[in-house]
Amino acid sequence: MVRTMTTHGGLEPVFCTIVPPHVLDRLARHDDPALSGPARRSLQRDAMERTRRRLTTVIGATAAAAPAGKQDGQPHRTIYDAHHGTDLPGTKVRGEGQQPGGDATVNRAYSGLGATFELYLSVYGRDSIDGRGLPLDATVHYDEKYDNAFWNGEQMVFGDGDGEIFLDFTIPVDVIGHELTHGVTQHTANLAYFGQSGALNESVSDVFGSLIKQYTLGQTAAEADWLIGAGLLAPRVTGTALRSMKAPGTAYDDDVLGKDPQPATMDDYVHTGSDNGGVHINSGIPNHAFYLAATALGGHAWERAGQIWYDVLTGGELREDADFADFARLTVKAARERYGAGDEVQAVKKGWEEVGVPAS
């Protein structure tokens, strides 16, 4: 979730779901009610949650502060079960430090929140998404056959999927990392969720979502799959994931879902009014630049490439309305400041060059 200015001069949160609206819109028009029904209902729920979040913000609610007794450098996770209803947060089913129970969905949500917390703390020295130990809450089994997952500015919410197109949304740890990273962005650069700044906001979530998966698996840049949402698509779908940072535009090509619309370079930049100006579409371009820089450097992508991106996100120079070229320039500057004039600067510059974004 990030904020943009509203007509009444306040800050309106923008609500990010992992499955972009253009995917569910298409699914909602399908002839088979087993496919269109859950998609329609999911779109209605997304709209409802977006409105609910807006009202909460206008009333002036703020995110919870770290609870008394929470130790610095430790996560504070609580998992709730909505029991297929829509009341949030639902019934508490697992608290911090409690042993896993019999529900694999609850256990995956708990682990995924922990993995996200761990990367930010161990690698970047950040205590939770706000840097001040924000408790991490998540609700699972939200609604019936809900085809999405989201961060609403206060907590994570996961659907079980319809079982036909989407499986359980707690399966890919990068989806959890993606959504929580919207919280990190909200507390730092606060990139406006429209056009290129919105695509950067999405890309930053994909970058750190993928890095959380890579860190959890101990993978090098060469070993990583660079997919977002691998394991989420049901077996009948012709596709491997929601997005590919390695090869944007190739994650799926399916008779029901259509084809992955992401471009890899500026030559194929998509001009559209939908999806907030293509925030989930053109994010393929900065995603691919990160992939190119990280694989050129080799080793663990969260170390040098990830550190450079993190420095830009949190360094205070990235404007809320930054475009791709602004971001590219700042990554080159951050690489030079942290590592001097060496491989890092060259790899970052070359990554942006290859996707057609000027970096100097």
Q: Reply yes or no on whether 280 is catalytic.
A: yes
Min. distance of Cβ 181 from Zn ion in angstroms?
Answer: 8
Rounded CA-CA distance 197/321 in Å is: 5
Nearer residue to Zn ion within complex by CB, 94 or 116: 116
Which stretch, 13-21, 25-33, 127-135, 148-156, contacts Zn ion (CB under 5 A)?
13-21
> Torsion angle of alpha carbons 345, 118, 219, 157, nearest 10°?
-100
* Residue type present at position 352: W
Nearer residue to Zn ion within complex by CB, 42 or 205: 205
How far is CA 108 from its chain centroid? 17
User: How many positions of this chain bind Zn ion (CB under 5 A)?
Assistant: 2
Binding mask 171-210 for Zn ion (x = CB under 5 A): ----------------------------------x-----
Min. distance of Cβ 205 from Zn ion in angstroms?
Answer: 5
Residue 42 structure tokens: 């999911």
Read off φ and ψ for residue 225, nearest 5 degrees.
-90, -15
Min. distance of Cβ 200 from Zn ion in angstroms?
Answer: 11
Nearer residue to Zn ion within complex by CB, 205 or 262: 205
Q: Which residues pair with 5 in a beta bridge?
A: 11
16 forms part of the interface with Zn ion (CB under 5 A): yes
Min. distance of Cβ 182 from Zn ion in angstroms?
Answer: 6
What are the helix (H) ranges across 165-259?
A: 173-187, 195-217
Of the candidates 76, 178, 187, 280, the residue annotated as catalytic is: 280
113 forms part of the interface with Zn ion (CB under 5 A): no
Rounded CA-CA distance 285/248 in Å is: 8
Chain positions 29 to 88 lying near Zn ion, rule: CB under 5 A, are none
- Residue 13 near residue 153 (C-beta atoms within 8 A): yes
Nearest to 13, CA basis, from 22, 3, 21: 3
Helix, strand, or coil (residue 158): strand
Min. distance of Cβ 218 from Zn ion in angstroms?
Answer: 25
Of the candidates 12, 154, 164, 179, the residue annotated as catalytic is: 179
Q: Reply yes or no on whether 8 is catalytic.
A: no
Task: Please give the positions annotated as active site.
Answer: 179, 280
Note the residues at the interface with Zn ion (CB under 5 A). 16, 205
